[in-house]
Structure 1
């Protein structure tokens, strides 16, 4: 039987025609699809709008016409950015008949950064920054000081005009084109001030720009442009917060600021420039885009230093615009750095003829670097400018690093020779550690570990090997004995530790591995440590810290978390580390009602008081004194299972790293080698402590 094919009807044919096509003109496309231009409409996208306006001021500073930038976060939700640069042109642009400031604010891809005349280096080629912010603002005001006057123009959702007052985005608005002169100024006074109110029709209600984010960004910019003063003022809180940033040391000072560890070599500065030819479409007199070869210069300036730590901090910038996801310039830096280090390791005989080359991860261990390049009209991957795409940057940056770093090793300055030798020894040691850890990891797979009986004898293992498996790190042998009877041996394993483990925040790797408790935890988990940690090889799906509910228990948890944070951080990042929450009190009821448990457990003093008030209100009595647990060893197996181990009833607190930098600062404060900051922290918090809560 043959299936009949239906002929399309006239309605089907006319169901999709030219009348269904939409043409978005001007800034309509931005309002229709804001994510294409600013990434998102949440806090990240709102911050990107602020950066677009700030970057225009920074471009003036890069061009040598601006020495002061101000950023104000207003209490009404608006943002104001000003500079003392040349001021946006206010004269008439001949092709459109519009004032320059109106053209810049209302037309996509209009600006002074395309020809390479007004700006030899700027934040980007796109020319859509200011106009996109204008399109996504309920109101935007611009004031320009030029030619002895202050010129003003306002916009409502991208449309030029004039508001009836000077402070509300929803004030009466009259559409009109052109700028107006509002007052006279000194002839030599120039600059631009932009204030915008984000459009609540576009951005999410909870979108905000954090004060710390603005402070960090402006501090970073001041580092990158020596001599530039940036003032930040936040008027949104109960108290006005104001900061001023100015650094004359440039990226060398920035590199020292970023580093969190002690240096083993002074900051090295590598600088140079390169030349390349780029084919770009150029608009001719007839309005046609013609592919044209353009000669470009690219300047490279890099600051780097190695420290005693193991973390890598690499910040990269293109014309002061941060590129957090790297790009071609970082690729060239990594490639050349690894090549030079391998050459120097072999010249110093730290690598023998048969040894493999060190890899990038070995070289970057403990490295802090700031990589900056400046070039006209950089090509970014996407409007958010997170990745540099100019291909010539890889070759030029690589050549500069190869030449300059080799010169540093060949002709070290006073005191540098021993420092550089220490750097090479550190990198060679990192490579050996990586190879040894890889071998150890391969040998510590669960099957091999069990067959070879290489696991610690005190480990009480479980039977399952899937993601349900849990490793409880328990405090002491007394708690272990009870936990053995209380656990589910199908998926719960136990590892006792004796007392307080080593504080690894201020101990070397060698000392950490010599510590029996630390070594046992790493060995039992079976996934390696440090850079070689492989979370896929972990023998247990989750780790649970089971410590007493007292001061010593809290200290032991802190020490264990320091170990995981420094050497097994992926477990924390994946949310696979938990802290068990044992109860503090047990209330034994006298004559409990039918269906009511005889014992009630509470986990805080406040909860205990609340439950006692409830029981008293219901007329129920309890035995005195109420039991206060000081250790897990005081519980019997049934109580421990019911309150702490049984997944049906227990309470677990997931340990996460939401902000790695803040977590690193807190671990360093609480567990680091610097005593003075810790003493200041304890002294400052002493007044907030309730002395009656101290369990003495």
Structure 2
């Protein structure tokens, strides 16, 4: 079938002028029209206030989420210019809010470094708002202008401002109205706007959590800046659900304090701060007086500021920023940072290969990044971003500048001669080498079959008592305390699907030990080997050889201590296993009461699991007039149980009770263990002093 000819000429072309293009294609400017796009509009307004603070002209920013759905941003910067812009004849306020690619961030000298650089932020927000009011304090006066979907005019408000109020657009000329007086020396800008529901989806909402996170981050990046966030919406599920909620953020410690805030594990090193700057030339188009564009080489300054520390964990947290604008997808600055890290560590490990026992293997980026928490910021004029959302930095010269600064400063840190700094440098080098060895070991064992019993492979510990089943979901691994408990458990288990692994007393305290020490410890290595899913960042929960891992320890203080040690190992190096709900604690009984029945009826055996439960049982028996045999059997350990008793109470799936370990439970165990057995002495001393008054001396077993 021949397609029908259709006429296509110049009159079919559409020319979208001014803010009309923004309303027609909002996704091009804000990414989307859901909550993400709504928040992006708010970031554009906040970032303008932040740029004033970054330039040294503002110290306070207030963000208010109002009941009627609007949002207000107030700063004490210089205020938007209110005089006439020569080319357009419009006031500076109207130019900023109605003209795309207009502003003070195009190399005019107002901002040496800023987050906004395209000149479309405020005008885009204005175009996508059903109403926007702006007030400027300058020269002892307060000026105001209002807009309806980007068009300047006046709203006939009776009392409370509303986008539904009658609106009269300016016809002959715009008016920047003087609405009050400002105190002498007071400057600033207040912007209040209502997002246009013709543009945004009905479910688009401002996220209080995202706003607070952004405010906190900005306060870290600009020391001394005070940011206040107030939520007056009373929205369900928010901190301000029942009353207005306000939070204030001010962090004078800068990005060093930010790195400490982001870190979740105990430290291997202190926070190291690296700073430096360099210049580079860039060829950019420049407009001359006639409006013609010509290429010109300009010199840029780039400031680099890095705060980083390594912890004992293996998770990586790297936050990067350009002129305090977050770049979550990285860019040239992050590439330069990572290249420098790998280069320096390879050089230092090669120089100390014999002492570190590194062998001939090479470290890679993941080995260095394991346990790293870092904040990287660069400041430069007119950075090149990929897209208006500014998620990736594209300026090529920044990569080399960041790389040189980090390489120089990190080398100094790793070759320091002061005792404390030298110890930290050695600790982080050992950690990186241990990560390399762990990665290589995981790679070598990756293709090993998931289910092999002890007879099929020599890699399994000889003390493992394997089960017969190859069904991972049904199989269970019981970690038992000592050989005596192993002997009883061997007779009590169901050999079809229950495997046993004895451990010798208390395993290594991995809270204080390095990764190298952990891997060298026989008990920890046996556990990792038997579970078969790796450790640390290479742990693969789907490769685990058992559906349940059960800690079966004595019901005493030592048993609780061993459980805590095991939980710390699981949480630190096999966390996905805990998150998947595959780690359990067996609940063995403390007492066995033989209740005497009258006549020929056999006596009844009842097990209790606490002193309170025992006293409750005895009280009930006394009230019922029933007797029991003395003495009541008190189990001091699993080894004291007969096999049938252990099976009935602790191992038989039909009668036993297991406690599933949750992430919260593992975190609590780790906190308690860090407090009582960690390397930091001061919190433990405070804990002992605080609890000394409540100690009952008679309960001390001495």
TM-score w.r.t. structure 2 length? Answer: 0.72
Counterpart selection for 1:205 from 194, 202, 206: 202
Task: Pick the structure with greater CA Rg.
Answer: 2
For residues 486-524 of structure 1, the C-alpha deviation after alignment (integer angstroms, 9 at most, x for no partner) is xxx9xxx65568899979884745787689997666435
Q: Which runs of 5+ in 2 are unaligned?
A: 234-239, 481-485, 585-645, 678-682, 688-702
Aligned to 2:228: 231
Aligned to 2:336: 332
- C-alpha spacing 1:115/1:639, structure 2 compared with 1 (3 Å): same
For residues 263-305 of structure 1, the C-alpha deviation after alignment (integer angstroms, 9 at most, x for no partner) is 3333222111111121222223333333322211111111222
**Any residues of structure 2 matched to 1:144-159 within 5 Å, and which?**
144-159=136-151
How many angstroms does 1:87 deviate by? 0.7
Aligned to 2:699: none
In structure 1, distance between residues paired with 2:647 and 2:15: 71
How many angstroms does 1:463 deviate by? 4.8
Aligned to 1:370: 375
Aligned to 2:47: 55
Aligned to 2:573: 567
Contact 1:471 1:494 (8 Å CA) reproduced:
yes
Aligned to 1:70: 62
Aligned to 1:168: 162
Counterpart selection for 1:193 from 187, 190, 194: 190
Contact 2:453 2:467 (8 Å CA) reproduced:
no
Secondary structure of 1:415 counterpart: helix
- C-alpha spacing 1:116/1:520, structure 2 compared with 1 (3 Å): farther
How many angstroms does 1:667 deviate by? 7.4
For residues 394-417 of structure 1, the C-alpha deviation after alignment (integer angstroms, 9 at most, x for no partner) is 100111112222234445457323
Counterpart selection for 2:529 from 492, 508, 523: 523
TM-score w.r.t. structure 1 length? Answer: 0.73
Secondary structure of 2:300 counterpart: strand
Aligned to 1:586: none
Aligned to 1:214: 211
How many angstroms does 1:182 deviate by? 0.6
Counterpart selection for 1:32 from 24, 42, 46: 24
For residues 368-425 of structure 1, the C-alpha deviation after alignment (integer angstroms, 9 at most, x for no partner) is 2221110001111222222211111110011111222223444545732332223223
Secondary structure of 1:291 counterpart: strand
How many angstroms does 1:21 deviate by? 4.3
How many angstroms does 1:475 deviate by? 9.3
- C-alpha spacing 1:504/1:141, structure 2 compared with 1 (3 Å): farther
Mapped pair 1:357 → 2:362: yes
Contact 2:219 2:225 (8 Å CA) reproduced:
yes
Contact 1:265 1:305 (8 Å CA) reproduced:
yes
Contact 1:124 1:378 (8 Å CA) reproduced:
no
Contact 2:136 2:187 (8 Å CA) reproduced:
yes
In structure 1, distance between residues paired with 2:508 and 2:148: 59
Aligned to 1:622: none
Q: Which runs of 5+ in 1 are unaligned?
A: 1-5, 581-630, 645-652, 681-696
Contact 1:480 1:494 (8 Å CA) reproduced:
no
In structure 2, distance between residues paired with 1:32 and 1:526: 56
Mapped pair 1:460 → 2:467: yes
Secondary structure of 1:13 counterpart: coil
Contact 2:276 2:303 (8 Å CA) reproduced:
yes
- C-alpha spacing 1:560/1:159, structure 2 compared with 1 (3 Å): farther
Contact 1:144 1:150 (8 Å CA) reproduced:
yes
How many angstroms does 1:37 deviate by? 2.5
